[in-house]
Amino acid sequence: MPIPSTSEEQNEIAAIFDAIDAKIDLHKRKKAVLEELFRALLHKLMTGEIRVADLDLSALEAKHEVAA
């Protein structure tokens, strides 16, 4: 396995891996929050606390048009 020739190069590689780890952690936390929001919304829908007809889905439609 090749070893970086200078400590500066080693530090740069370590910084890149740290940034990648931070990004992975951020995405894991985002995923956890979105899953919790989904569970809460699903619970409210299943218990009748809110109704599907009452949901404002205009933001989803606008995103879909931009993606297309």
d(CA 32, CA 24): 12
Give a yes or no: residue 2 inside a domain: no
Q: Domain span at residue 51?
A: 7-67
pLDDT tens-digit readout, 36-49? 999 999 999 999 99
Give a yes or no: residue 30 inside a domain: yes
pTM of the model as a whole:
0.66
pLDDT tens-digit readout, 18-66? 999 999 999 999 999 999 999 999 999 999 998 888 888 788 887 667 7
Res 7: pLDDT:
94
Give a yes or no: residue 15 inside a domain: yes
Classify 54 as helix, strand or coil.
Answer: helix
Name the one residue in this structure whose structure tokens are 């829908």: 45
Give a yes or no: residue 56 inside a domain: yes
Domain count, the chain: 1
Confidence of residue 68 (pLDDT cuts 50, 70, 90): low
